[in-house]
Structure 1
Amino acid sequence: MSTTTTCPDCHAAMRAADTFCWTCGSPRGTGPAPDRLAVVHHAPAPDPGPSRTERRGTPRRGQDGSGRVVAGVAVAVVAAAAVAGWWLVRPDDDVSTTPVAAPSPSTSSSTSTSTPVREVAAATPAPAVAAPVPPPTPEPVYPTGVLTPARVTAPGSSPDSADAGGRTTTYVAANVLDADPSTAWRTEGSAAGSSLTFTFDAPVRVTEVGLINGFAKVDPHDGTDRYPQGRRVLAVTWTFQGPTGPVSVPQRLSDGERDLQRIPVPAVVTSSATLTVDEVTRPGAGRLFDRTAISEVRFTGA
């Protein structure tokens, strides 16, 4: 009958024939087992003596069975430790993991220090808006027919007089625009070099002008013809202030023609016109009436 004892290190049961502890591997003896690392690196392990096989020959059936049991227990302990370690480090069942490819050596350093760049969607350019096309400027509409200036100025006029019936007769410049040949603008002496200026309230397009070149009046009381008594106009120059500068049109007049003498002019847009007397006749009636008269002036547009 074998005698058992305990290991001085781990207190496991040992048989009297065992030379080391089957649990912790300490050699049989009293006191703590020497440090196995120190034994490995600094001193040779103590001679355990002849092995059981050498000392006792072929192990007995009972002894061989005990060794196998201990070895099986040791394997089970190792397996249990492995399983416990796997449970400690295993991933959670409900967390799915995706393997991540290791960065290549050429890009690992750059990607580890680079800052992620947020992608910004390119702004969609606003659609081009065509500039509004202004409507075409309508062609100005000018009055047609007889064009009446708003006012007329002259250098001087003869004083008022009375006809054979005693009615007062005036000779102001406005008389040339009243459409009455029996009234006239009249000035003393020769009117050569004198100018009458006509002004319109708005631009007009003039295509024709005309005038009566003397005092075309027959006195209704005694029938005296006033036309041959004074000087008559023989030549004038019409000047219009157009958009590109002055436009001048000369006109020759017939002596003795008491009606309106007309002349066409190039269509000119103007707001004013000037009538300059260039030539007149000598005084009539034996030089008793040294006065120059114009009975009518007319502008026409078409």
Structure 2
Amino acid sequence: MDKSLKDIGIIVGRFQVNELHPGHIDLIETVNAKHKRVVIFLGTTPALVTRNNPLDFVARKEMLLKRFPAVSVLSIPDSPSDKDWSIMLDSRIREACPVGSVMLYGSRSSFISSYHGHFETTELPDHHNTSGTEVRIELSKEVKSSPDFRAGVIFAAYNQYPKVYPTVDVAITRDGKFLLGRKANQSKYRFIGGFADPTDDSYEDAARREAMEETGLEIGNITYVGSARIDDWRYRSEQDKIITHLFIAEALFGKAEARDDIAELKWVLSADLDEELFVPEHVVLYDLLKKKIN
């Protein structure tokens, strides 16, 4: 063992995989060979069960200790500031290891470029080029028949915050009429709309997109009307719910044509709007619109 480097070896990583891949193992074994004491700091995030961070701290800690029982495994929370994160990491290192010289280790795409603390860093070569992201993508493609697999899915479902799914609906108007849509296998109508998308820059942009996707119309003069929780049958028995944002907008260009999951479009005079026209979950939106235009 070469003791000329530092007393303590520190590894910072996320290890968001179902099992350690060869690149992980080489990294830890290399640091173990250089130091009598090794501490692994696992990055943690407030977001739960995401694609980038599907595993919590405890699951990853147990995975590491099963293969490397002699290492210490601690957490380091994410921070919006690299400088603040570096200060916090330095502080946690000294909390765990009050005395002794320290060397931090990472690979080519590791934390090192974001670290602005006091300790020295060493970038170790990755001879395997194994990506944790690629591992997760491959795992996501396969459904396994084991009880452990099903238990993991259930664990993930229960260890999340209840979610609100944001949607947009838009009351499109032209020449004193409002455009309503009807879905197949339904007899009543609804406002045009759908789920906001992560690529939308705003709810107004989402309303423009949904209007184009479902009617072929370009809309403008978009005005916010209000918001409401929707009694959507898909989430009626779930903790997760839908809250929609209702807008009123003018049809500027195009001919209204039923598209996407809309089977029929219908222009209705403002004076003829009535709650009996609407599917039950959109009656609350009709009430919001009525207050706005009356």
Shorter-chain TM band: under 0.3
What TM-score does the superposition give when structure 1 sets the normalisation length? 0.17
TM-score by length of 2: 0.17
Please state which structure has a larger fraction of its residues in helix: 2
